[in-house]
Structure 1
Amino acid sequence: MRQTWRWFGPGDGVGIEDMLQAGVEGVVSALHHVPTGAVWMPEAIRQRQDEIGARRDGTASGLAWEVVESLPVSEDIKKQTGAYRAHYETYRESLRNLAAAGLEVVCYNFMPVLDWTRTDLAWRAHHNGTAMRFDLVDFAAFDIHILKRRGAAESFPEDVRESAKRRFAEMSEARKAQLMENVVFGLPGAAEHLSMDDVRLHLEEYAQLSAETLRKHLVDFLSEVAPEAERLGMRLCCHPDDPPFPLLGLPRVVSTEADYRAFLDAVDLPANGVALCSGSLGVRADNDLPGMMARLGDRVHFLHLRNVRRETEGMPCSFHESEHLAGETDMVALVKAALDEEARRRKAGRSDVSIPFRPDHGQDILDDLTRKAQPGYPAIGRLKGLAELRGVIAALSHPVAAPA
């Protein structure tokens, strides 16, 4: 399992030197500043590689850009409106430019409108550090009383609606503003940042689009780009919905094993694969992560290892991001399943034996609390998670752990 680390570019509060001290082997990055639907040009790709390859003093870092996360899919492609056919070609051209630069693994997602959703970006955890959290009542208060989406109230059970009404009545104006900002929070340096009016417009455009239609659009997209990725020797991997249940009346089509199997079978190419995120998928009690790794393993091209703790029963639910070994997912069993898949690949003579993984997210602890890096991407919290995962991998890989 290859240890990687997400980096958002020169503006990231966690830098190249931090990654070196963490002992990572490769870097996960993207050109967040390029507008969605535009071509990733060779010069921009080369610049990001150069930024990763050098320390602040100009000496070589020894690190390389190894995984692209993410090459975004436009809303036009998801809805099949506007310039979506032209966007197929720009996506293929970006893949060709990335392949020419030596990059092979490309992660993307197919979530409508919002990339990921939390109501709290710095919720106080039991140890006095902070974590990201999704509070269903807060989200209902946002949807019903702040966004005022048509039909929002019917999306929630009666007890949640009533709690949201009381919660909203007690909210300060500052909390309302913070909740709005949290829900539509974007990535640092991203070319697009959504306003409330943008969200409302997108929701209107998606109003008549069913889950079945969105799934068909995903398959159509993959039918257009996966053959090119296959020809280039690349591996595409779809990140699951986060959280893995419908929000804002929008469909979700990458939330379960059955969802993955549907588009993997529809476009049955090795290049068409999975980014298995244990944190996103682990929100659902019906997602068996070790089993999914075992059953989907030959198409798992990238692993996000993090954990969550559910706070309420059923779907949708409230949850927060926990320590890597302390949440709902049996992380030891999941890592064991990943190592077993690597053993199968080694036996089959595959070139992609080592599956890249990153310690996804992390709680802000110690100096993270004053560093104020990208929410979910602290230095020490992720290093703690990586150290725990390294320990699991080392123990499971040690000769004394081999069956008698």
Structure 2
Amino acid sequence: MLESWRWFGPQDPVTLSHARQAGATGVVTALHHIYDGRVWTPEDVAERMAIIRQAGMVWAVCESIPVNSAIKLRNKDWRRYVDAWKESLANLGKGGVPVVCYNFMPVVDWTRTNLLYPMEAGGLALRFDMAEFVAYDVFVLKRKGAEGQYGQEILAAAKRRLEAMTEEQILRLEVNIIAGLPGGEDSHTREGIRREIGLYDDLSDGDMRANLVEFLREVVPVAAENGVRLAIHPDDPPFSLFGLPRVVSKTEDIETILASVDHEANGITLCAGSYGSRHGNDVVSMARRFADRIQFAHLRNVTKEADWSFTESDHLGGDVDMVALISFLRREERRRAAAGRSDQVIPMRPDHGHLLIDDQSKKVNPGYSCIGRLKGLAELRGVIAAVDKFETGLQ
């Protein structure tokens, strides 16, 4: 597997030098300073590629070209944004980027309610707490119709939770949920997110799925023509937020995506933490089922709770059997090598990490501190070495 590291560009407090010291050789990045729908020009791509190569690394994956809301809604601006997306995709391919990860989440990107959740050993983790989210949605945002979308038990828990919070804690919860996390496309105010959610009032899951399929029909041929493998990222968390459609959350969703444009350039990002956050998803079984189309792997872990809350665990802890997953991915790589496939090495990254040691006193991107990811990558590397030794006899 190609050990990679997410990097948010020259402004990232965790540098490419840090990534190299952690043992990564691949870089997962995007042109985060150009997130307004403009085309990423060949010059833009070449500039970022030169920085990465100068650091002695390879640009393994672009994560992500933002998918504008106009594309998800398929409104009057759809064609303009789709054409720009296709041009950026082509320029990435021509510039030597082999994989493009992207997502189709409406309004909010990946979402957590607590960015500094204390763990028993002293580290700080990312957490999604359902009672806190419902408290914000129903009683703070006061989204129209929200209360009727939740059961009485979680509503009562949410009300109790909110009553125990200070105004400062409520504001922090709001910032965590709607102000945007690293790699996300949008940051919202309270009024702004109400307006954005309202744009989706008449859009069903089926409508959203149809819009995704139309998008794929446009972009997959461009990817294939330019030597790029597309890797759609799952919804995070993989269930509805704010009553919005979610169409990349479970096995049936992946089946629809891959069947809609049945081409090897149309693939998935296997995010163990995202898929693992949904009750009923067996991540290892999903990897086996869609092995041929796994273009990229996010290796992180979560511990789920009965009310659909979850905490990001140690990389080798939590509900996902990470050893079994890595063992399967290494077998898939060997199968691809035997078949002579050009994509026989799957890029992976240690997705997220706990905030540890002196990183706790530094300004870092939530989930993307240095030491927590270094620890995670080292653990994953150890599993890979053990799997190789005992399954193939490699020394």
Same fold (TM over 0.5): yes
Structure 2 residue identity aligned to 1:35: Y
CA distance in 2, matches of 1:191, 1:399: 43
Task: Look up the match of 2:333.
Answer: 342
| SS of the residue 2:199 aligns to | helix
- Residue 229 (structure 1) shift: 0.5
Task: Look up the match of 2:302.
Answer: 308
Q: Where does the alignment leave 5 or more consecutive residues of structure 2 unmatched?
A: none
The answer to whether 1:319 aligns with 2:310 is yes
Number of aligned positions between the proteins: 394
| SS of the residue 2:244 aligns to | coil
CA RMSD of aligned residues (A): 1.6
Q: How does 1:4-403 map to 2 (within 5 A)?
A: 4-53=4-53, 60-187=54-181, 192-310=186-304, 312-313=305-306, 317-398=308-389
- Residue 154 (structure 1) shift: 1.6
Cα distance, 1:282–1:340 mapped onto 2, change above 3 Å: same
Bigger mean CA deviation after superposition, 18-27 or 182-191: 182-191
| SS of the residue 1:362 aligns to | coil
Cα distance, 1:399–1:192 mapped onto 2, change above 3 Å: closer
CA distance in 2, matches of 1:157, 1:402: 53
Structure 2 residue identity aligned to 1:313: A
| SS of the residue 1:270 aligns to | coil
- Residue 294 (structure 1) shift: 1.2
CA distance in 2, matches of 1:288, 1:189: 26
| Residues 179 and 189, structure 2, Cα contact 8 Å, conserved in 1 | no
| SS of the residue 1:106 aligns to | strand
| Residues 208 and 247, structure 2, Cα contact 8 Å, conserved in 1 | yes
Q: Percent identity?
A: 48
- Residue 12 (structure 1) shift: 1.1
| Residues 5 and 358, structure 1, Cα contact 8 Å, conserved in 2 | yes
- Structure 1 length as normaliser, TM-score? 0.94
Cα distance, 1:149–1:388 mapped onto 2, change above 3 Å: same
CA distance in 2, matches of 1:190, 1:35: 9
CA distance in 1, matches of 2:17, 2:273: 27
Task: Look up the match of 1:57.
Answer: none
- Residue 209 (structure 1) shift: 0.5
CA distance in 2, matches of 1:89, 1:18: 36
- Residue 351 (structure 1) shift: 0.6
Structure 1 residue identity aligned to 2:21: Q
| Residues 36 and 73, structure 1, Cα contact 8 Å, conserved in 2 | no
Moved over 3 A (4+): 187-192, 399-403
- Residue 402 (structure 1) shift: 5.1
CA distance in 2, matches of 1:190, 1:296: 26
